[in-house]
A and B are shown apart, each in its own frame.
Chain A
């Protein structure tokens, strides 16, 4: 375990004892409210976290879970209410104060310093000192090795952290919490970027920590994980606490009802009787190293085809190779008979292929730009012009408005900035953008990520009606229920290859789940 230098046994023992000495705190958010300017995000929320417990906060997107947990960790202050630690009310916190009290937040996307070593990342903000402000390097590297091994991470502490995989980075964040002596740890949607196996590993670590007496908070919207992991659940809806439950005292329907205020059944896609059209998208043995190792996919007009797989299986990279964001090394892509392998996004759009990207914040929306210009961003060339050259703003707005209405975007006006819309409405606005391009083939990558249940339904309805009018649709999704719900056929993808294909009635959660993990 200890390599490279003469590691002394003493620090190892001390560290283990240190871990055992960590205790969770009794931590409560009491009557917490939070407003950003006029928008109230949390309203009179009281949640109590106890040691030896995994307490999950669930809710739809926008319910306020992330905001709550960030207030608990000192990222920003609450507008009203107080935080009570072991019975004592805390003054306004900074993240550093919170850490001193033993509170740590493992963020949704672990952000490490790629150029700093693993050891420095672990001890970020709290590098061990030696006098004159110097860093105690040797000691730091030694304790780092012990600590990261205890959470199951194997890596050289001197390595630049940029080389770690996402799952490893998450483990590093956990190790960091422990290294700061924090016994109250919050996890903000930690499993979104993880494979099922990595998620399991994380849960094992969490159970281990819980049994050692720590207080753990867990935020997720994945109900199966919540059910597996939680000792206690608090449900938030629209910024207020609407339900609390302990392990074994609830059903999934209860949870869903509490989250969205109505029951929801996963209904299968209505069987379609119409004939499918010709093959619109024909991808043959596409190779785009290192993630895509040779994938072939076919989609007909009017068909909704899914790509199932774990995060990291290469589906997004596949789509990006189709759309010209990356150049494929080999293989062919044909849209409606036209070969467009390696064509730029512009040429793909012109040929009838569009791509609704996965990370809409980064790759999709222009946050500060109005909805109208967001909607027309893909068709600027085809906007009505005066004298052949000059865009007519009024006409542009009318076009955008019509498209947005068709997609059921809820906003006050198309002049509103995109960032003022909720996640679901942003996604619908992006759909409006892409439908304006009159595509023949559409690739939707995680179309309902970060979208509340109501908007989800709306998007599913849109996808189905688009298919009915002849659009060839490829849906990439990590939510198996979604694929079961809307797809006619599903390919499963594992490590850059297509490993199986299911059609019609054969598409079930069980079958998909098996294929997705490569079994």
Chain B
């Protein structure tokens, strides 16, 4: 065998990303042609992004957690709590800045709590966040009280509803955060640690990677993102219902899976998750404008999630037949494993 050991080519166009882009273009064209209000004087599509920007922010936090092979089921509830807290602070006369800081601080703290239990007590993140989700939901409902706050000062609602040159703030915030996450995951020590932990936690340990610290950090960041999403939600809807964010868990997970991330950790590109957010977001909004009910949207989202999984697994089974299963994960049984 000759030793070539060449340096890799500078950049390869990702296949899945291209599929997503094509799908987005296809659906935008479809909705523009079939529904009059969709493109609405050209800027309609941009306005629609305000609706799903919060979901996108949650999805970004969730993607980082899933990158490590964990999951955060409490992200939606955390966003609800953040929204409720922001609303309550505003209702009691606090400034928008105080409301935002308080909301994000609380949800970040819950993220930290999740992280500490997962990293230091060593409990599976599925169980921890399943439990935390319910604890946070109770707190949110309790804080919201009998009549949840609504009607916030315009300085606050601007975040969720305002725009700059027709580009909504919410979209800008989402894109900025997306960029930050892409850079973090791809180019920082933390991001590298997260990726390696996702691929093989034991090898990461033996490589000297700070596993507990990284896991705590990623859940905390997830909490932070949920907080931002909660603020966006409260600003957009101009009210703080305690269920406001919980419904976003499903679309967020769907976006992450649709974006090609491996639920077991390691593989996946944040950029493709961003594309998936747009794909899913425009799909839901288009359906709503067409006149479908929100529960149809939920069902369709569920079907998209299942469909994305099926495609991924069918695709990967092909790959597995080429190189053999990953040693450290038992996923499915494939008769052609060899090692």
A touching B, CB within 8 angstroms = yes
B331 within 8 A of A: no
A232 within 8 A of B: no
How far does the Cβ of B260 sit from chain A's closest Cβ, in whole Å? Answer: 14
B209, B336, B338: the one within 8 Å of A377 (CB): B209
When each residue 180-209 of chain B gets 1 if its CB lies under 8 Å from chain A and 0 otherwise, what string results?
Answer: 000100111100110110011011111111
Given A390-B183, A405-B5, A346 and B208 contact (CB-CB distance below 8 Å): yes
How far does the Cβ of B220 sit from chain A's closest Cβ, in whole Å? Answer: 19
In the bound complex, residues from chain B placing their C-beta under 8 Å from that of A417 are: 323
A494 to B339, CA, bound (A): 32
Determine if B203 and A380 form an interchain contact, defined as CB atoms under 8 angstroms apart: no
In the bound complex, residues from chain B placing their C-beta under 8 Å from that of A114 are: none
A75 to B338, CA, bound (A): 9
Task: Determine, out of A122-130, A146-154, A360-368, A471-479, the stretch whose residues face the partner at the interface.
Answer: A360-368
Determine if A380 and B206 form an interchain contact, defined as CB atoms under 8 angstroms apart: no
Given A75-B335, A366-B200, A369-B199, A412 and B327 contact (CB-CB distance below 8 Å): no
A357 within 8 A of B: yes
In the bound complex, residues from chain A placing their C-beta under 8 Å from that of B188 are: 389-391
A368 to B335, CA, bound (A): 20
In the bound complex, residues from chain B placing their C-beta under 8 Å from that of A37 are: 321-323
Determine if A413 and B4 form an interchain contact, defined as CB atoms under 8 angstroms apart: yes
A345 within 8 A of B: yes
How far does the Cβ of B265 sit from chain A's closest Cβ, in whole Å? Answer: 10
CB-contacts of A407-430 with B (<8 A): 408-415, 417, 419-420
Determine if B6 and A412 form an interchain contact, defined as CB atoms under 8 angstroms apart: yes
CB-contacts of A375-399 with B (<8 A): 377-378, 380-381, 389-391, 393-394, 397-398
In the bound complex, residues from chain B placing their C-beta under 8 Å from that of A357 are: 206
Determine if A433 and B207 form an interchain contact, defined as CB atoms under 8 angstroms apart: yes
A336 within 8 A of B: no
In the bound complex, residues from chain B placing their C-beta under 8 Å from that of A415 are: 8
How far does the Cβ of A283 sit from chain B's closest Cβ, in whole Å? Answer: 19
CB-contacts of B124-144 with A (<8 A): none
A76 within 8 A of B: yes
How far does the Cβ of A35 sit from chain B's closest Cβ, in whole Å? Answer: 11
Given A76-B336, A377-B207, A414 and B5 contact (CB-CB distance below 8 Å): yes
Closest chain B residue, CB of each to CB of A94: B335
Determine if A349 and B4 form an interchain contact, defined as CB atoms under 8 angstroms apart: no
A410 to B2, CA, bound (A): 7
In the bound complex, residues from chain A placing their C-beta under 8 Å from that of B328 are: 361-362, 367
Closest chain B residue, CB of each to CB of A425: B1
Give the number of chain B interface residues (Cβ < 8 Å).
42
A393 to B10, CA, bound (A): 10
A377 to B321, CA, bound (A): 28
B189, B200, B337: the one within 8 Å of A381 (CB): B189
A75 to B321, CA, bound (A): 14
How far does the Cβ of A203 sit from chain B's closest Cβ, in whole Å? Answer: 26
A355, A377, A389: the one within 8 Å of B196 (CB): A377
B267 within 8 A of A: yes
A84 within 8 A of B: no
How far does the Cβ of A75 sit from chain B's closest Cβ, in whole Å? Answer: 7
Determine if A369 and B196 form an interchain contact, defined as CB atoms under 8 angstroms apart: yes
Closest chain B residue, CB of each to CB of A346: B208
A346 to B208, CA, bound (A): 4
In the bound complex, residues from chain A placing their C-beta under 8 Å from that of B2 are: 410
B326 within 8 A of A: yes
Closest chain A residue, CB of each to CB of B7: A397
B147 within 8 A of A: no
Given A76-B335, A367-B326, A405 and B3 contact (CB-CB distance below 8 Å): yes
A370, A409, A419: the one within 8 Å of B323 (CB): A419
B4, B183, B189, B322: the one within 8 Å of A36 (CB): B322
In the bound complex, residues from chain A placing their C-beta under 8 Å from that of B93 are: none
Determine if B266 and A369 form an interchain contact, defined as CB atoms under 8 angstroms apart: yes
Task: Given contact pairs A76-B337, A391-B189, enumerate 20 new A-B contacts (beta carbons under 8 Å).
Answer: A36-B323, A36-B336, A36-B338, A66-B338, A76-B336, A361-B328, A362-B200, A362-B328, A364-B203, A365-B200, A368-B326, A369-B195, A369-B196, A369-B199, A369-B266, A380-B193, A389-B188, A390-B188, A419-B323, A419-B324
16 A–B contacts from the bound complex (CB under 8 Å): A37-B323, A344-B208, A345-B206, A346-B210, A349-B208, A362-B200, A362-B328, A372-B8, A373-B192, A377-B203, A380-B193, A390-B183, A391-B192, A419-B326, A420-B323, A433-B207
Question: Interface on A for B, CB 8 Å cutoff?
Answer: 36-38, 41, 66-67, 70, 75-76, 323, 325, 344-346, 348-349, 355, 357, 361-370, 372-373, 377-378, 380-381, 389-391, 393-394, 397-398, 401, 404-405, 408-415, 417, 419-420, 433
